Structure 1
């Protein structure tokens, strides 16, 4: 398998003396004049994209960057994947918008998706198309669970990120995302997540008895827990924005058993970790669990086409006709792109490739960790990887400033990454699934060099500080 042809090039190239270059700087000024203060990413790295292919984005000044966060985990089979583009363009020439009328394209997409599901879900689900974002899918999933159970409370988890609409924010734990909107957290109870590096119960792997799952069991089965019986338990199989937090398998299995025993719908948010990001269609497959409702978006559109769906076990499909609508739930170009992306993944054995490239990335980052003063943990599944920075290995005090500096320096060296985590101290690495081994090694070389430079700068500043 050769994937080089799906990329503009395999190395980053910075041509201008400074970033942003002259053309980019002018456009960024124009953006500031006309666009709302709500704009975000250009403040983190002043990028003005012009063309893109695979994992390479070229800006208006000719600088070429390696996209190692897939524009928020959306571009799973690479920017402008030529095979997916052909199918999307053919669909565009026929019909684009169809509401929820059936089309040959929609049926092909649903059949293809169903055939690729794990055995426990295959032929046992209905597919619900909703608004085109992950937050829309979360809203629909919570609404469906509440209709099914006639209850209101949702149990979510610390570190959770489910979107920025008010409903999705109600189950998102970060206070900053909910700042100024105190009412949105009503109807949610946040339980501790299985975050072994920062165990909320102070346990170590050799003493852990999955207390995080036992805590949820107590909430649901103790008549004096103080919370209402919930409409659903909602969680990400692997937390993405939370810092690529990968729970113990036992945690997921216990949560599923607890939900089953208590007749509570289990919702998995696969918006970021799903669609082969971890080497499997659903990241829950790694944990050998089966949710009742699944939300999917981001990568399922293949090359960035807007698409969001629910996978619903048939017994939970209690919608009445028209009970949940959405004008753009019938985007045929997105469905054509999603169908084509699945075919591309199967034809090129991308699942195995993701696993292999993930191992190369993890091995390289673990070697860098051995020489680093501030990397506390490297964790990942497939091409969803997090590098957590701490000021001290023992105290694990978060080092968010280091990550912000790394993001800036990596950008200036032609690499795009993002920062996340409970304390904004985790570098999140999510390259397109078509990334080549040469690009992975280039990334590791640049990451190693930049990490050393930033580390020396902080160590030097610490030494220079006067002792009080």
Structure 2
């Protein structure tokens, strides 16, 4: 077993702002008490789930592994229609930075609804939009924000990725994009072309041309068979050669796009030295660097943005999920020198979502006031240390890794022979059993990574130390049951 990117920060027992609202605190206390009194849940059918199976698209995904029909939620807890209470470590795939129904967000929504503000304005400005723009820029490093422009996109992160691709291709006059193995940038056609996972795009046949995939620094399964610092050095040398060699076969790219922590790819944090080296290569070869912070942004990894761990700045940053306070919103923020597109060159009907902007401003205010990035670093270290302790007991844990409250546990076949760098084959069946046993015990987690063998933890940033300990305890019980 390996423990990757651990932190030794001291831990404070963070208390979420929801405790200041009697209504919200009352529901949170009720759900928390009932969760602690739970028994093992037998997850059967419900008429809502049956109708979902009959009528919803076959593309539905989460309900297949998490067969739940939810009725209420507060903070880190959700309750289903049968009265069962769960700790939610999925939180809208990281969207709900403040958890469910945070009072700051619900109050902002109610004020906006009662204000008479038009809720749909395309890209016509309003006081809410002006405030939101200032709040977003205020979270970014000052040197980047000083020269930044914002493009409002459609509702999803994939929409913002599509806009970013269009932006750099128009600005540079080039078309090739360098992406990374294991990447996830969305499910629209252009974003899907950038995806490392072959499954979702194999059935489509031809994808958009002009994407070149590069090895991502995945130490446990190092694509160069080296691992550690040697793997980082090899990756950077490979990319430098590709960009320098006139016979590399790869045209000079319009951009490099990268996740500073691969989320769907298995909670793999890019080493600081690698990100710094990548920034240097992009600058030296005059290639715009796009940082996809859709899942990592706004405190998730222990800094406001994950690129800040490396002390670098992007040319373009893609934002979604937490930026809308739980409502659909996506943005591209970029250096003004790339602002070359003509009026109307990119648009989207729902780029003027006023409720999402109000919720987003409320969320960013709480993030800053309560230093939830610091809380994520501290509580993430607490959870990571407890997960690592299980790795000493269970040989089926190949690696515990991540940053802040964005953590993964890779499950492997303990009986198999390790490869040259010590990695054992993935064990997707075990991972599926662990997820099921977690759910039976009242813990919602998702799977990701190669072969779906990584258990992913993305709790709200308002989770408390006591709740972190409960998450770790339930996971240990589930792992023991699934391994028996």
TM-score (norm 2): 0.90
Matched, 1:77 2:105: no
Match of 2:309 in 1: 286
Rate the CA distance shift 1:101–1:403 in 2: closer, same or farther, 3 A: same
| Stretch of structure 1 that moved more, 256-265 or 323-332 | 256-265
Counterparts of 1:14-29 in structure 2, within 5 Å, are 14=38, 18-20=42-44, 25-29=46-50
Q: Do the aligned residues in 1 keep the contact of 2:398 with 2:423 (CA within 8 Å)?
A: no
Deviations 1:18-56 (A, max 9, x none): 213xxx611111112222212211111210001111111
Q: Do the aligned residues in 1 keep the contact of 2:298 with 2:373 (CA within 8 Å)?
A: no
Deviations 1:284-326 (A, max 9, x none): 0011111101100011112x11010011111111121111000
Counterparts of 1:69-468 in structure 2, within 5 Å, are 69-93=90-114, 94=116, 95-205=118-228, 207-208=230-231, 210-302=233-325, 304-392=326-414, 394-456=422-484
Give the Cα–Cα distance (whole angstroms) in 2 for the partners of residues 322 and 206 of structure 1.
46
Deviations 1:54-79 (A, max 9, x none): 11111111101111011211111111
Give the Cα–Cα distance (whole angstroms) in 2 for the partners of residues 170 and 417 of structure 1.
27
Rate the CA distance shift 1:395–1:109 in 2: closer, same or farther, 3 A: closer
Give the Cα–Cα distance (whole angstroms) in 2 for the partners of residues 386 and 210 of structure 1.
24
Q: Do the aligned residues in 2 keep the contact of 1:83 with 1:340 (CA within 8 Å)?
A: yes
Per-residue deviation, 1:119: 3.0
Match of 1:465 in 2: none
Give the Cα–Cα distance (whole angstroms) in 2 for the partners of residues 15 and 203 of structure 1.
46
Superposition RMSD in Å: 1.6
Q: Do the aligned residues in 2 keep the contact of 1:233 with 1:265 (CA within 8 Å)?
A: yes
Match of 2:11 in 1: none
Q: Which runs of 5+ in 2 are unaligned?
A: 1-13, 20-24
Rate the CA distance shift 1:207–1:258 in 2: closer, same or farther, 3 A: closer
Q: Do the aligned residues in 2 keep the contact of 1:57 with 1:64 (CA within 8 Å)?
A: yes
Rate the CA distance shift 1:18–1:53 in 2: closer, same or farther, 3 A: same
| Stretch of structure 1 that moved more, 386-395 or 129-138 | 386-395
Rate the CA distance shift 1:76–1:438 in 2: closer, same or farther, 3 A: same
TM-score (norm 1): 0.93
SS of equivalent residue, structure 2 residue 213: strand
Q: Do the aligned residues in 1 keep the contact of 2:180 with 2:216 (CA within 8 Å)?
A: yes
Q: Do the aligned residues in 1 keep the contact of 2:186 with 2:195 (CA within 8 Å)?
A: yes
Higher relative contact order (CA 8 A, sep 6+): 2
2:54 counterpart (33, 40, 46): 33
| Stretch of structure 1 that moved more, 444-453 or 197-206 | 197-206
Deviations 1:237-273 (A, max 9, x none): 1100000111211211111111111111110100011
Per-residue deviation, 1:362: 0.7
Rate the CA distance shift 1:441–1:220 in 2: closer, same or farther, 3 A: same
Per-residue deviation, 1:395: 4.4
Deviations 1:116-166 (A, max 9, x none): 211331222011100010000000000111101111111100000000011
Per-residue deviation, 1:16: 8.6
Matched, 1:50 2:71: yes
